[in-house]
Amino acid sequence: MSHLHKNIANETGDFTAKLKPVAPDGAVVIENERKRSIINVKQLSEHLLTSQYLERQRRVLDILRQEKIFSKATQANLSRPDRYKLGLARGKRMRQLQDLHGWNDDDFLMAEYLVDDIQPYHLHISLFTAAVREQANDEQRASWMPKIAAWEIIGAYAQTELGHGSNVRGIETEARWDQSSKEFVLHSPTITASKWWNGTLGRTANYAVVIAQLMLPEDGTYKSYGPHPFIVQIRDMKTHRPPDSIVVGDIGPKYGYAAMDNAYCLFNQHRIPFSAMLSRFSSIDPETGIYTKPKSPSSVYGQLTRGRSVIVMHARLILARAVTVAVRYLSVRRQFRDQDDPTQPLETPVLDYTTVQIRILPLLATTFALHYAGSHMKQLYERTRKNDTTLDTVDHAALSELHVTSAGLKSLATTLAADSIETCRRSMGGHGFGGGTGLVQLNADYLSKPTVEGDNWMITQQVARYLIKKVKECIQSPESHAFSETEEHVKAYLSARLQKPRIDILRSDQAIVHAFNWRMAHLAYKAYDARELQKKSWNSLLIELHKLSTAYSQAMLVSNFYTAVVRQQGSLPFDTLTKSVLVDLFRLFVFNIMNSEAREFQNSGAVSSEDLDEIPNKVLELMASIRPHAVRLVDAWSIPDYLLDSALGRYDGRVYEDLFHRAHVVNPLNKLTFNPRYKEDEIVLGSGDAQHILAKL
Amino acid sequence: MSHLHKNIANETGDFTAKLKPVAPDGAVVIENERKRSIINVKQLSEHLLTSQYLERQRRVLDILRQEKIFSKATQANLSRPDRYKLGLARGKRMRQLQDLHGWNDDDFLMAEYLVDDIQPYHLHISLFTAAVREQANDEQRASWMPKIAAWEIIGAYAQTELGHGSNVRGIETEARWDQSSKEFVLHSPTITASKWWNGTLGRTANYAVVIAQLMLPEDGTYKSYGPHPFIVQIRDMKTHRPPDSIVVGDIGPKYGYAAMDNAYCLFNQHRIPFSAMLSRFSSIDPETGIYTKPKSPSSVYGQLTRGRSVIVMHARLILARAVTVAVRYLSVRRQFRDQDDPTQPLETPVLDYTTVQIRILPLLATTFALHYAGSHMKQLYERTRKNDTTLDTVDHAALSELHVTSAGLKSLATTLAADSIETCRRSMGGHGFGGGTGLVQLNADYLSKPTVEGDNWMITQQVARYLIKKVKECIQSPESHAFSETEEHVKAYLSARLQKPRIDILRSDQAIVHAFNWRMAHLAYKAYDARELQKKSWNSLLIELHKLSTAYSQAMLVSNFYTAVVRQQGSLPFDTLTKSVLVDLFRLFVFNIMNSEAREFQNSGAVSSEDLDEIPNKVLELMASIRPHAVRLVDAWSIPDYLLDSALGRYDGRVYEDLFHRAHVVNPLNKLTFNPRYKEDEIVLGSGDAQHILAKL
């Protein structure tokens, strides 16, 4: 028997062992839910995830389930130091399993995803490896990459500082070139210069790529040539301690990522050799100290787009997880009888209430919207990487545009996913606050995403700047050919905006896409007008620019969703019913946005107020159509119970048995008996000990 | 020296001890912020909190700071079982301090508020005490209350069950009357009948008030007389263990409230004496087994209103805490130079960005809005309690109305506060995800509030139901006198709705209040029309009814805010500038809502689209006016550094010194050195131990 087999038998021997939940129990209810729909879950699952992905998920999961170290049952009870130790042990074991089973990178990533607890080695295998590979010259690569691949050294990536995040040019750490010794002197002039947040560096790494201002002597002083990367040994290979000229440690508990050792790190006139500067793009001549400027980096066309498609595809799975838990639990949970028909024998399943549906079902639709947009980005990127000769000018224009505008999609997708975890949690009432949701750690960890890799409010500026430029170009050259779809939409808007065409959103899915593009172009034109003609300050426009980026990204989601489930419906391998459910999800997704942003659509001039007033009823109808398929739709996302780690979201619906098992069998606090008498300082009854807990403060 | 003196000196002896933050450091910046405004903080603080409250806060704080057990420095590192132990130790000490210093209830509550870590005794002093006091008959009171007050017994309140929350009538636990032995038999027929969530009961309490279906024999079977309260001994007074007929324990880790032992508890044919039934309102005759129906309970007129005023007043302080942290940190933090003026010597303070202001400054305004609404409720309640003879019909009508509609305010206030913690956190970028925010535990704990004491989406139904009834009455009796303000608004709307009067929101504060009341009446009328005339199902209307409740509650906030800072401005003890800042806060609060809900105001027919289009500019202007006063305004909420427990939100602005201190001096993880070599299973370097962490799983 595997260690992680989800045994919820009650073997306590007390009277509770014989009790069952009140009928109908969750297992019966969830089975009935699955009988209400004929959606082919396997087919839809392969459509969303590919059979290759599903095979990998099963194969890696089977291996992980054999190992007690990957059990999640009690980890929420551990202290922060123990969470780090557990993470380190898990990271070691994962790498051992990689050696043992010959896992490739995708297998290893799958294992990390399933274990779902960031491991202290994570920055070694991600940013550190990438930084050396991309920024080292050939000789440096040859020297470092084998050691990195074999985990002979463990590295981190040290860029951000206590006082400096998004603005990399503002970092304070200095690397001064000493011509006489042919060394660099790394130095942290202030507390705010301390490296900060750098994962893996706090307790784990012995090396790091450190970003520092390259300072070269000039006229008796030092001049900065901007931030450059240096590979630096941080700790002794035997004692694992830093030299006196380096202070390094873990920054302490955070919102999430308990297992990760995010670092602070300072240097005091710390000397590193000439060879430490990673010199693929710029370099120093060790003999003369003369600096060679960065060559323009080899084409990274598409790289950023790929990274952002990964974020979007990840966001859809996070969202799918939260929605899976909510849909399953809210189907099982019943509360109150129907007010208009109090003779019903059973209380109403909570998912039947429209106030619950409106919070959950649009999020279910959003998992599909993110999926089709992320897939589209990924496919475009993969075609360029393979030098696909069928790529035409339009594809290249699209990719070049995505390079800029994917910032907006990163912002929107991670905000949606982060907010949705909490929306799902709150929809589940009391048990939503319990540890059985499987969402406690997910939420704490994922809340970093709206900030990292570009703050979600900051990076939307580049989308807006790009769109303002496009409007300007289209106005200046009205006759020019539109290469990208965005240009087409802007041109269409500019030529028709005074007529204010009425777009018939209620009768045509194509019209819906049109309305989203029209609204985007309208906001882009308004932003152009405010900035370029009225010359308003950038800061005074930021709020509107953020909205513009959101409108643009929503139009991207809508357009990709439409293409996949309406325009190219013929190519979908599904039966008619499944296809119509997908179209309902598309419509629910779009109408729900239109409803929230109704006035923007109305003010754009193309959607009538009467049509907008109809939307709430449309939304109710669509939710009623989708409701019977909800459980099968979340099943299609194929989130394994091991990953969910959720009593409420279990595949088999045995919600109450699992909640009770976690409390009565698993919870370690119940192994202790306490002394409640306040005049006695003793805590654990009979221990006589009043000092134990005080000593931990 | 007190244990809790916030010493952030770096006494490590390494080179970091001499380092300072880059200039200008936070202390200088925050001092300059305070110099920008002449708001009299002390005066405003006493206005908001009263000098009595501020004196209590200082006095209790001085006592707590002497005791190491109340230090918060490392508690985020502790395991869940240790968090419970710490809670128990703190609870004992707090009660000892109460004895020592003669604290009254308000002093004790202040101590709990400042320590800010729920203690396992909490349900004893709150719901358990209240339940016995209110539901016991005189004899029972006389017997139990002295023991409860002296903490000779520790009690809990066991109502909700694993399968049953808001719908109390659905609980499964049974209390069968056994006439032969004159006992009740408590029994849990299923797993879902398990008592669940009951605070203090998991490990601490030895007694509980248990709510069970009273079952009386009738025609050879048992008939339920509905849920009734029974006082039940749960654990032995010496061994602190339950009898075999009771299974009880802690449910395990949750989102928040780590120190609280929320319980599961089941009974197996557990016998309790006749005297266990709390019999103030209904009773059994022990000789005949005849049931006496509840007398209508003695007037609790206003009690609910008082409870909800407490929730609103608490929500304002939670919000004030989050906003205090955000405003102070975002003033100190700088990022990027101004795009339109890149020659600025320093980067821009983050709080100067409009995209940051729009997230924070309306929340600052909301603290005041909640304050004036909560104060109003509290005053009304206190006047009735004192049998204030100046209370007139209008006051009574208002109070009777508040009794219903305060549900909406509970919903709105706790949703606002809960959402705002995360909004503030995210606005702070990278450090917002760190442990130095002081918001990690606050968020985890407070997220229970939108669910407990009435789920925020569910309880708004009663507000809507009330308003539909009011519309119906006003239509049926158009000539009747309007007793409450709500009736006035509804009548005004009904008589003028066909004319659609234009309300000039941009030029009159009174008009703004009018617009909010008009919109509320408009939505109430629509709901009346849908339910009473079109006979739509209740479930199909729930989403709109929730919006109606929100609109009603927003109108309450707006109206109370207006009364306090505009209409009764003459009675405010402030200088002209402070008064005008308060009016700006009022306007920012209202325009920010109008902007989010613009289409509702437009569709209500009384606010022009042109006026609504002007609002974004108004909001920008108001934020610019308020910005220089932001630090002093949050200072006025007087949240002590000990309560904030925030490096980012420190009063003195020494953000970076404190973050570094928490990492380099306090963090216990840095006391250990680890073995990063993956082929070796050892975790702590030199320990040779690979099993330690595995054994904890």
* Three-point CA angle A452, A453, A456, nearest 5°: 70
Residue B104: predicted pLDDT: 97
**pLDDT of B375 higher than 80:** yes
| Any B CB within 8 A of A256 CB | yes
Q: Is B340 found in the same domain as B311?
A: yes
Residues of B in contact with A251 (CB under 8 A): 434-435, 659, 662-663, 667
Dist. CA A122–CA A124, nearest whole Å = 5
Q: Is B323 found in the same domain as B255?
A: no
Beta carbons of A85 and B433 less than 8 Å apart: no
From the list A119, A136, A615, the residue with the least C-alpha distance to A362 is A615
Residue B392: predicted pLDDT: 74
Q: What is the 3-state secondary structure (H, E, C) of A330-348?
A: HHHCECCCCCCCCCCCCCC
**pLDDT of A448 higher than 70:** yes
Dist. CA B482–CA B394, nearest whole Å = 9
Dist. CA A45–CA A405, nearest whole Å = 29
- The total number of structural domains that make up chain B: 4
Residue ranges making up the domain that contains B212: 126-292
Q: How far is A599 from chain B (nearest CA, A)?
A: 6
Dist. CA B173–CA B160, nearest whole Å = 10
Kindly indicate the confidence band of residue B309, based on its pLDDT and cuts at 50, 70 and 90. Answer: confident
Taking a C-beta distance cutoff of 8 angstroms, is the pair B439, B646 a contact? yes
H or E element that contains A356: helix A354-385
Residues 6+ apart with CB under 8 A from A207: A128, A153, A154, A155, A156, A231, A232, A233, A234
Dist. CA B631–CA B37, nearest whole Å = 9
Dist. CA B380–CA A529, nearest whole Å = 52
For residues B170-177, average pLDDT: 97
Residues of A in contact with B543 (CB under 8 A): 354-355, 358, 616, 620
Kindly indicate the confidence band of residue B221, based on its pLDDT and cuts at 50, 70 and 90. Answer: very high
**Residues B49-90: pLDDT tens digits?**
999 999 999 999 999 999 999 999 999 999 999 999 999 999
Q: How large a percentage of chain A has pLDDT more than 70?
A: 97
Cα dihedral: A35, A40, A41, A44 (round 10): -150
Residues of B in contact with A160 (CB under 8 A): 430
- Write out residues 431-470 of A within 8 Å (CB-CB) of B: 432-436, 440, 447-448, 450-452, 455-458
Dist. CA A254–CA B291, nearest whole Å = 56
- Between B2 and A408, the higher pLDDT residue: A408
Residue B255 phi/psi, 5-degree rounding, is -55, -55
Q: What is the 3-state secondary structure (H, E, C) of B207-276?
A: EEEEEEEEEEEECCEEEEEEEEEEEEECCCCCCCCCCCCEEEEECCCECCCCCCCCEEEEECCEEEEHHH
Q: Is A603 found in the same domain as A465?
A: yes
Taking one residue from A and the other from B, the number of pairs with CB-CB distance under 8 angstroms is 433
Mean pLDDT of chain B: 94
**Residues B494-527: pLDDT tens digits?**
999 988 788 999 999 999 999 999 999 999 999 9
Kindly indicate the confidence band of residue A1, based on its pLDDT and cuts at 50, 70 and 90. Answer: very low
Domain end call among A241, A267, A292: A292
A87 annotated to bind ligand: no
Q: Is B285 found in the same domain as B154?
A: yes
Q: Is A285 found in the same domain as A163?
A: yes
The residue type of B270 is H
**pLDDT of A642 higher than 90:** yes
**Residues A9-18: pLDDT tens digits?**
787 889 999 9
**pLDDT of B421 higher than 60:** yes
Please identify which residue in the block is written with the tokens 């170290």.
A69
The domain that holds A185 is classified in CATH as: 2.40.110.10
Would you please indicate which residues of B are annotated as catalytic (active-site) residues?
453
Residue A387: predicted pLDDT: 67
Residue B298: predicted pLDDT: 46
Give chain A's length: 697
| b/e map A240-254, b = 16+ CB within 10 Å | bebeebbbbbbbbbb
The residue type of B368 is F
Q: How large a percentage of chain A has pLDDT more than 90?
A: 85
Give chain B's length: 697
Q: How far is A180 from chain B (nearest CA, A)?
A: 25
For residues B596-610, average pLDDT: 95
Dist. CA A18–CA A27, nearest whole Å = 17
| Any B CB within 8 A of A1 CB | no
Residue A6: predicted pLDDT: 56
- Write out residues 475-534 of B within 8 Å (CB-CB) of A: none
Beta carbons of B347 and A249 less than 8 Å apart: no
Q: Is B81 found in the same domain as B169?
A: no
Going from the C-alpha of B508 to that of each of A89, A108, B289, B583, B600, the distances in angstroms are: 66, 64, 67, 12, 20
* Three-point CA angle B170, B217, B274, nearest 5°: 85
Q: How far is B563 from chain A (nearest CA, A)?
A: 31
**Residues A20-45: pLDDT tens digits?**
999 999 999 999 999 999 999 999 99
| Any B CB within 8 A of A349 CB | no
Domain end call among B75, B94, B119: B119
**Residues B85-104: pLDDT tens digits?**
999 999 999 999 999 999 99
| Pairing assessment for the beta strands B207-218 and B155-158 based on DSSP bridges | parallel
Residue A85 phi/psi, 5-degree rounding, is -60, -45
Domain end call among B292, B324, B350: B292
**Residues A369-395: pLDDT tens digits?**
999 999 998 888 887 777 666 767 777
Residue B299: predicted pLDDT: 47
- The answer to whether position B599 is within a domain reads no
Please give the residue of chain B at the shortest CA–CA distance from A353: B539
Residues of B in contact with A16 (CB under 8 A): 191, 194, 247, 266
**pLDDT of A396 higher than 80:** no
Residue B314: predicted pLDDT: 96
Pick B678's closest partner by Cβ from A95, A656, A672.
A95
- The answer to whether position A329 is within a domain reads no
Beta carbons of A669 and B121 less than 8 Å apart: no
**pLDDT of A364 higher than 70:** yes
The residue type of B446 is Y
- The answer to whether position A513 is within a domain reads yes
Please identify which residue in the block is written with the tokens 């809960």.
B418
Dist. CA A137–CA A231, nearest whole Å = 12
Q: Which long-range contacts (CB under 8 A, 24 or more apart) does B641-646 make?
A: B641/B6, B642/B4, B642/B6, B642/B61, B642/B64, B642/B65, B642/B72, B642/B114, B643/B113, B643/B114, B643/B116, B643/B321, B644/B321, B644/B324, B644/B325, B644/B438, B645/B72, B645/B116, B645/B438, B646/B325, B646/B436, B646/B437, B646/B438, B646/B439
Mean pLDDT of chain A: 94
Residues of B in contact with A165 (CB under 8 A): 335, 429-430
Kindly indicate the confidence band of residue B139, based on its pLDDT and cuts at 50, 70 and 90. Answer: very high
- The answer to whether position B166 is within a domain reads yes
Dist. CA B550–CA B463, nearest whole Å = 9
Q: Is A607 found in the same domain as A692?
A: no
Residue A380: predicted pLDDT: 82
- Asked, as a colleague might, if the bond just before A501 is cis with ω within 30 of 0, I would say no
| Any B CB within 8 A of A15 CB | yes
| Pairing assessment for the beta strands B270-273 and A291-292 based on DSSP bridges | unpaired
- The answer to whether position A8 is within a domain reads no
Q: Is A682 found in the same domain as A597?
A: no
Q: How far is A414 from chain B (nearest CA, A)?
A: 12
Interface ipTM: 0.96
Residues 6+ apart with CB under 8 A from B451: A426, A429, A430, A432, A433
Residue B167: predicted pLDDT: 87
Residue A165: predicted pLDDT: 87
Residues of B in contact with A453 (CB under 8 A): none
Q: What pTM does this model have? A: 0.96
Would you please indicate which residues of A are annotated as catalytic (active-site) residues?
453
Residues of B in contact with A358 (CB under 8 A): 543
Dist. CA B460–CA A673, nearest whole Å = 42
Best mutation target among B71, B148, B255, B679 (most A Cβ atoms within 10 Å) is B255
Pick B678's closest partner by Cβ from A92, A167, A450.
A92
Q: What is the distance, to the nearest Å, from the Cα of residue A392 to the centroid of all Cα atoms in its chain?
A: 31
Dist. CA B627–CA B356, nearest whole Å = 11
Best mutation target among A197, A670, A672, A681 (most B Cβ atoms within 10 Å) is A670
| Any B CB within 8 A of A353 CB | yes
Please give the residue of chain A at the shortest CA–CA distance from B684: A85
The domain that holds B68 is classified in CATH as: 1.10.540.10
Taking a C-beta distance cutoff of 8 angstroms, is the pair A690, A682 a contact? yes
The DSSP result for A500-556, as a single string, is -PPP-TTT-HHHHHHHHHHHHHHHHHHHHIIIIIS---HHHHHHHHHHHHHHHHHHH
**pLDDT of A3 higher than 50:** no
A199 annotated to bind ligand: yes
| Pairing assessment for the beta strands A207-218 and A221-233 based on DSSP bridges | antiparallel
Dist. CA B313–CA B319, nearest whole Å = 10
| Any B CB within 8 A of A672 CB | yes
| Any B CB within 8 A of A17 CB | no
* The two three-digit tokens of residue B71, written as one number: 């230090």
Angular region, A42: left φ>0, alpha ψ -120 to 50, beta rest: alpha
For residues B642-669, average pLDDT: 97
The domain that holds A469 is classified in CATH as: 1.20.140.10
Pick B249's closest partner by Cβ from A96, A162, A663.
A663
Going from the C-alpha of A319 to that of each of A312, A358, B220, B243, B622, the distances in angstroms are: 10, 16, 54, 45, 37
Beta carbons of B354 and A678 less than 8 Å apart: no
| b/e map A58-91, b = 16+ CB within 10 Å | eebbebbbebebbbbbbbbbbbbbbbbbbbbbbb
Best mutation target among A433, A594, A601, A603 (most B Cβ atoms within 10 Å) is A433
Kindly indicate the confidence band of residue B306, based on its pLDDT and cuts at 50, 70 and 90. Answer: confident
Q: How large a percentage of chain B has pLDDT more than 70?
A: 97
Q: Is A570 found in the same domain as A474?
A: yes
> Beta-carbon neighbour count of residue A375 at 10 Å?
17
| Any A CB within 8 A of B100 CB | no
Residues 6+ apart with CB under 8 A from A684: A672, A673, A674, A675, A692, B85
Dist. CA A634–CA A81, nearest whole Å = 36
Beta carbons of A69 and B694 less than 8 Å apart: yes
| Pairing assessment for the beta strands A174-178 and A207-218 based on DSSP bridges | parallel
Residues 6+ apart with CB under 8 A from B305: B377, B380, B381, B399, B402, B403, B406
Q: Is B391 found in the same domain as B358?
A: yes
- The answer to whether position B654 is within a domain reads no
Q: Is A593 found in the same domain as A692?
A: no
Judge residue A534's burial from the number of C-beta atoms within 10 Å of its C-beta, 0-12 exposed, 13-18 middle, 19 or more buried.
exposed
Dist. CA B22–CA A172, nearest whole Å = 9
Residues of B in contact with A598 (CB under 8 A): 599
Dist. CA A410–CA A450, nearest whole Å = 8
- Between A191 and A7, the higher pLDDT residue: A191
Please give the residue of chain B at the shortest CA–CA distance from A600: B599
Dist. CA B25–CA B346, nearest whole Å = 12
Residues of B in contact with A646 (CB under 8 A): none
Kindly indicate the confidence band of residue B307, based on its pLDDT and cuts at 50, 70 and 90. Answer: confident
- The answer to whether position A691 is within a domain reads yes
Please give the residue of chain A at the shortest CA–CA distance from B71: A697
Kindly indicate the confidence band of residue B5, based on its pLDDT and cuts at 50, 70 and 90. Answer: very low
- Between B116 and A403, the higher pLDDT residue: B116
**Residues B339-367: pLDDT tens digits?**
888 888 889 999 999 999 999 999 999 99
Q: Is B130 found in the same domain as B83?
A: no
